[in-house]
Chain A
Amino acid sequence: MIATLFLLAFMQIKVPDAAQFVGAPQGTPLTGPQLERRTMEISSELRCPVCQGLAIGDSPSIMAANMKAQVRELLERGYTEAQILSYFEKSYGQFVLLKPKFQGVNALVWILPILALAAGFLLVVTKAKKLETAPVKAATAEEEPADDPYLARVREMVDKP
């Protein structure tokens, strides 16, 4: 890592860096199993741009592997999840975030199911109350006699005194 940086500096190569998009790291650098775990977690929130809906952690495509390596590197340098997601959002657009941001019209996708649950619960309680007090209809004959002529005849015979 240090050697690469040294070499790069020597050759005056400049590669675009997250710092230009989201500033300096705002968290602590990660190492070891925690680094791997966080890489996995954040990779599952970023969408592979050429796959059909897969996360970069699940995709075999080359760019997805590059993106995942970038996530790991940024975590090593101490970037926070919010910063990393923001960096990818700035280059790829909101499309790359698998978890919709709670912002603007996107908030609706989070709110609507909860509203539905609440509204539905009210409906269920109302309906249950209504059903408790509903008048009981006298047991009716199952089907009209015209349904089954034989049954009709049988009933007729049975009902005769």
Chain B
Amino acid sequence: MIGNDIVDLAIAAVESNWKRKGYLEKIFTMTERFLITSAKDAEQMVWLLWTMKESVYKAATDKSKIRTFAPCTLNCSNLILHPGSATGTIVYEEQLYYSQSILTPTYIHTIAAAKLAILNQAKLTIDDYNESDSSYRSTNPASVSHHGQYLAMIYL
């Protein structure tokens, strides 16, 4: 129904080399790769598009439990960049999803849902992630994402 994804940019810079030969081709469609190569900040665009895909994937798979890793089957479009935020749409398995993203120098966060009304009512919290503390689970979040130092949760 709703999904969210966060990328800690400091961790991503260490753990993922998106400039590696063949890397972008495995994840992004030609249209998306054009957005990356023509972006002012290519690294930001890589992780923005990535969080859009991941959040849609999470929104789609809490219904069906089928697991697959096929990022090229999620198509991002209608991307509009604002200072510090972005909106877009993603098509996955013939379903349209809407996304809202936060862009900061240290992280990128995206929420996606098939219904704009759900996206608009979602409440987001971003905290420090503590591996040994799982008490957040009892707060009943609709979607959880953690990466590096960040823990992001959506409540409906």
Partners in one complex: no
